[in-house]
Amino acid sequence: MKEGQVPDLYDKIQGESTGLGKLLEKIPGLSGYMEKGRRREADQLLRETISARLEQSRVQLGSVQAELSRDIIKAMDHAEPLGRVDTGLRGLAGKIKDAPQGYAGFFDAVKVKEDDLARIYAFDEKMLNVSDEVQAGVDALAKAVRDNGDIGGAIRELDNTIQQANRDWSSRDEVIMGIS
């Protein structure tokens, strides 16, 4: 595995089946149900990881805001766009954490087709990459504040990344709801 690459959570969970789980998989009809349960667990773990990363970026953004506030003029100039970035980041992290699971259970109101599961999982993996992009944007903003660089430009780039991520996440919801 390459440095920085996250292992596929579904494969990891699949590989950690217990002896009892492997025995139960031999019961007709049960193995498909158990596999869907593992997919659901992997999806939830991935979303929790992404959300935690975004929350960590938000914490760092708060530190950048505190550093920026040492210069009252700069703080006032950038307060509104930084607030918008913080709100967007909080909303994105919350949407990802609280999103419906990638696979709906037997009695769930929303059913997700098997062929859509791969698309949903791809959205989630894309969001993992987005969490890295957000962190890079926060790092760039911190550097701009520290070095008296283009703070406005760094804020705009970060805001654009977060807005695009929100649009992308809406596409995931459309797959789950059967819209696309």
Residue 64 pLDDT exceeds 80: yes
Distance CA 140, CA 120 (A): 30
Distance CA 35, CA 85 (A): 38
- Given this model, what pLDDT does residue 37 score? 66
Note the pTM of the prediction, 2 decimals: 0.72
Please report, for the chain, how many H helices and E strands are present, in that order.
Answer: 6, 0
Does 14 or 124 have the greater pLDDT score? 124
